[in-house]
Amino acid sequence: MPLVTIEGPVIKDTEKKRQLVKDITETVADSYEFPKETIVVLLKENSPENVGVGGQLVIDLSKLE
């Protein structure tokens, strides 16, 4: 059973999450030729205060602009 993990920023719109999971599931099922029911998709959402880029928190990078 394929497991797909997506790590990224928080998606506030639940409908967008539904579409993302649907699209990923369909693509993986097609590629592996597995039933969609066997594909697991995990969304790991990280808020900007928990992510660092270039030695700075993402939440602080937006303050520099």
pLDDT tens per residue across all 65 residues of the chain: 999 999 999 999 999 999 999 999 999 999 999 999 999 999 999 999 999 999 999 999 877 65
CATH number of residue 27's parent domain:
3.30.429.10
Task: DSSP for 1-65, please give it.
Answer: --EEEEEEE----HHHHHHHHHHHHHHHHHHHT--GGG-EEEEEEE-GGG-EETTEEHHHHHHH-
What domain range includes position 17? 3-64
Domain count, the chain: 1
Instruction: Enter the pTM of the model.
Output: 0.82
